[in-house]
Structure formats: C-alpha cells, structure tokens
Structure 1
Amino acid sequence: MNGPEIHLEVAPELRLFVAHERRRGRTAVVTDGSSTLGHVVESLGIPLTEAGQILVDGRPVPVSHIPGAGELVEVRAVERPQHIPGAPLRFLLDVHLGTLARRLRLLGVDAAYESEDIGDPALAALSARERRVMLSRDRGLLRRRELWAGAYVYSDRPDEQLRDVLERFAPPLAPWTRCTACNGELSGADKDAVRERLEQGTEKTYDVFAQCVACERVYWRGAHHARLEAIVTDAVREFGGATTR
C-alpha cells in the first residue's frame, strides 16, 4: 500500500489477530486510498466476524468507509452477548470442533457438525443455506463472504470453547434433549420398544431410556453420566437453563 496514513488502535481482545508490533497500542497504517475500512481491518488479520463497532475519530462508521489521511481508527470487539438477527440461533461447526459440537448438543443447542473435511466453500454455503452461525478456528473460513454469520473460537480447550460460545451468544439451554451423535431431538422411550437395541447388561441394569427420533440411537444414564452431568450442571449454573429431562 502507498497512500494515506491512518492511526489504528485495536481492542485488547483482538490483538492476538494482528502482528506483534501492533499489540501495544496505537500504530500507523499506510492504506492505498481506495480500499474500505473493512478490507484494511481484514488485511491486518482481524476477521470481520470478530470486529464490533469501528470508530473513526470517535464516530461510528460502517465497514464500507474509506479511511482518509490522519484518521484515528479504533476497532472494538463484538459486544457480548451477541445477537444474530434474522433466524433462530443455530450453529455449524467445522471438522476440528467435534467435542464442542457434542457438548453443545448435550445442552440442547442446535449444533450441526461436519465430521469430514468438506472444504471451506461447502461449509460457507451450508452456513448461508441453513442460516447457521459458523464456528471455527480457521480465520480464512471466517473471511468468506458467503457465510451467513460466523465466530472465531478462541481456545483449543473444549471446556473454554464451550464457555466462550455460551457467553458470546447466550443460547437457550435445554439439556438432555438432543442426540450428541447426530443433533436430532430425543424423546422418551419405552424399555420394551428399545430392548432389541440393548446389550444384556444394560437391559438388566437400567429402566429409563431416551431415543433419537432421527438416528434412533438409544440413551440411558450409564457409566459416563456423572461426567456429563457435571458439564450440564456447570453450564446451567453459569448460563441458565433447565437440568431436568
């Protein structure tokens, strides 16, 4: 770029996206004089999904603003909780976020997940077609224009990922109502109706079952229930919802 010089200040939450020398406060950026502010912000490494209000000399401006010489640009983080207008809140997760997808489903959150790498264009198209918020740690994917909406997942640890998504979007929680395998809805199941799907030990030990209406997977309070119950209890305590089946 060889044009007007602007001054840039990035919110602390967004500094992980920019070069190290821009993380300490206000820095100079030379623009080309024709690119929009949205393009400038993205060229510095910040996905626009993570940019909240953008101020120029203290005034809010759209990402279509073309910056002029000497302007002070402040890029703020997205406000939390973030409201996504236009459709019920639903998510789409890429191939690297399987554990997060299962935990969201455990809490009753609609979370579609691609267990195979179908490629960024296909994921972006699916996000647009089904109006799902794309969750990913892939910054390139989040820059695709065809995305309906998106959000960067800041941690690589499932516990922190879950807190991040619940804090950012505040989805309504309805634990134990979705299939963690396929995202379908669960309904109560009579033991006799699912008996042929049970191993002998399970049939003798348990009497309360649920079944996915989509893939017909059967659920019961088995050996892993205490661990799952702890995830649900912690999430409901902090973010609200119901713990009863």
Structure 2
Amino acid sequence: MSGTDATDPSRTVALTLADDLHLFLPPRLRAGRVTAAVADDSTLGHLVESAGVPLPEVGRLVVDGADTPASYRPRGGETVEVHAVHRPQEVPGGEPRFLLDVHLGALARRMRLVGLDTAYHNDCDDPVLVEQANAERRVLLTQDRGLLRRRNLWFGAYVRGVRPDAQLDDLLRRFAPPLRPWTRCTSCNGNLTAVPKESVVADVEPGTLAAVEDFARCDDCARVYWHGSHGGRLDEIVDTALRTVAQV
C-alpha cells in the first residue's frame, strides 16, 4: 500500500475516497487519494480495508465509472471511487436495534433516553459482542476499526465524535431511527411502564412523593423513574434528538 505511484502502475489501482472517509486514513493521505498494489488474490474490498477504511463504512464502489462489488478482483491500472454509506442508512429487518462496545456507555444511556433499543455491557470482549450482534440482529456500534473488519459481523457502524452528544447526533443522522423518548430504562434498557403513585412509596423519598405525581417502573430491573429537577438537561437531549431525526 502506498500514497504515491512508486509501484508499477499496471499492478496498482488508484483509490479516491469520499470526504466522509478521510478520517480513516493516516495524516499523510488525508487528501483522500491512495495507490494500492494489486496481488493475485486481492479483492476490491481488501484493498479498501488495507487503506484503513472498514467496509461497513463504504457505500458504492465505482471502478472506471461502473458500480462494482467489493468481491471484484482488480486487474491493475484501474481508478476507483470509494463512496461513504448513504445516509440515512437502512438496516435489514426494519427498525434498527443496537449493541454498543464497552467504550460507549455514555452514548448508550442517551440512546435509551430517546427510546432506542440499546444493549450495552461494560465487560464484553470482541468475539462476544459479535456473537450477540449476530444472534439478536443488532447493529454493532464502535470506534474500533478492527472490530468492524471482522468478517463474520452481520452489521456494524463506526461512531463519529468524541463527546456523547456528538456521537448521538452522528447515530441519528446515519440511521434516522424512530424515537420514543422516556420509554426505556437508561440503566438496563428495559421498557418503562406507568405505575400508580401508591406503588412507589417504598422506593422514593417523601419529598419526591409530595412533589411528583407521575411515575414509571422498569419492567426488567424495577427501577423507578420520574421527571425531576434534573429533567431540564434530559429534556434538552430529547428535544435535540427529535429535531435532528425530523430534519434527516
């Protein structure tokens, strides 16, 4: 793999990457143009991933002006346009469900807050994550490029952004999923069900009982929820998310 034309042009392909894919390239190649050496067993997908771009982040591949599958074996001397995935991206099977790797806990809580079915564990290694994503048909979200390159992963996506709010914005713009705020437990992802005030007397402080009328309980872990003094920041996250999806 090279960023120049140092190898035999007849045994290389010229890759031009979409702007949205430049972050996967080393700094010296951030212009988005890569020269890739062709071996006898090279597929187009292999050459793209050798440049640093995980295939789940790739949309159309256009070889000398024609749409071409990642399984194509380049001859050499070709030019390739590497497009990013189309946004919003559809997920096979309808409404997407998600699984996050161990580094995205803050994003997981925000996703559950806006009602997305979001599985998260803080102690799973890569093979276990892939196994769960495949078994439950969840989109695996990660910032680990190596995890996205696993051949047996059915569907994955790279999360852009450093802070959780930026990560949530990226996710919503990529998938535009239906949102149902305040319907999931931010702790365990269980569904929330409205419950009578009398049923939570043993679970909340007397001051809260006096000030709040509406409560919900998680069907799975039994945690009790209500809209309290911290609701302003949470309302802001929810309102921003709803506006973002409406604009996609």
Counterpart-to-counterpart distance in 2, 1:234 and 1:87: 24
Three-state SS of the structure 1 residue aligned to 2:202 is: helix
Paired residue for 1:5? 12
Q: Look up the equivalent residue of 2:160 and give its one-letter code.
A: Y
**Residue 182 of structure 1: aligned partner:** 188
Distance 1:134 1:178 in 2: 19
Q: Does 1:37 align with 2:44?
A: yes
Range with bigger deviation, 199-208 or 33-42: 199-208
How many residues of Structure 1 are paired with residues of Structure 2 in the alignment?
Answer: 240
Q: Please show how residues 127-138 of structure 1 align to structure 2 within 5 Å.
A: 127-138=133-144
Secondary structure of the equivalent of 2:156?
strand
Question: Which AA in structure 2 matches 1:205?
Answer: A
Asked whether the 8 Å contact 2:22–2:32 carries over to 1, the reply is: no
Residue among 91, 95, 111 paired with 2:102: 95
2:74 counterpart of 1:71: no
Seq. identity, %: 52
Q: Does the 8 A contact of 1:10 with 1:23 survive in 2?
A: no
SS at 1:151's partner residue? strand
Q: Please list every run of at least 4 consecutive aligned residues from structure 1 whose deviation after the TM superposition is greater than 6 angstroms.
A: none
CA drift at 1:87? 4.9
Is the CA contact 2:13–2:80 (under 8 Å) kept in the aligned structure 1?
yes
- Aligned: 1:86 with 2:104: no
1:237 is displaced (CA, Å) by 2.1
Cross-structure match for 2:241 = 235
Q: After the TM superposition, which residues 141-220 of structure 1 pair with which residues of structure 2 at under 5 Å, given as runs? A: 141-220=147-226
SS where residue 52 of structure 1 aligns? strand
Name stretches of at least 5 consecutive residues in structure 2 with no aligned partner: 2-6
1:21 CA displacement: 3.1
CA distance in 2 between partners of 1:25 and 1:115 (Å): 35
CA distance in 2, matches of 1:19, 1:31: 20
- SS for the counterpart of 2:22 is helix
Return 10-19 or 121-130, whichever deviates more: 10-19
Name 1:104's counterpart in structure 2.
111
What residue is the counterpart of 2:64 in the other structure? 57
CA–CA distance in 2 between the matches of 1:225 and 1:45?
A: 41
> Counterpart of 2:4?
none
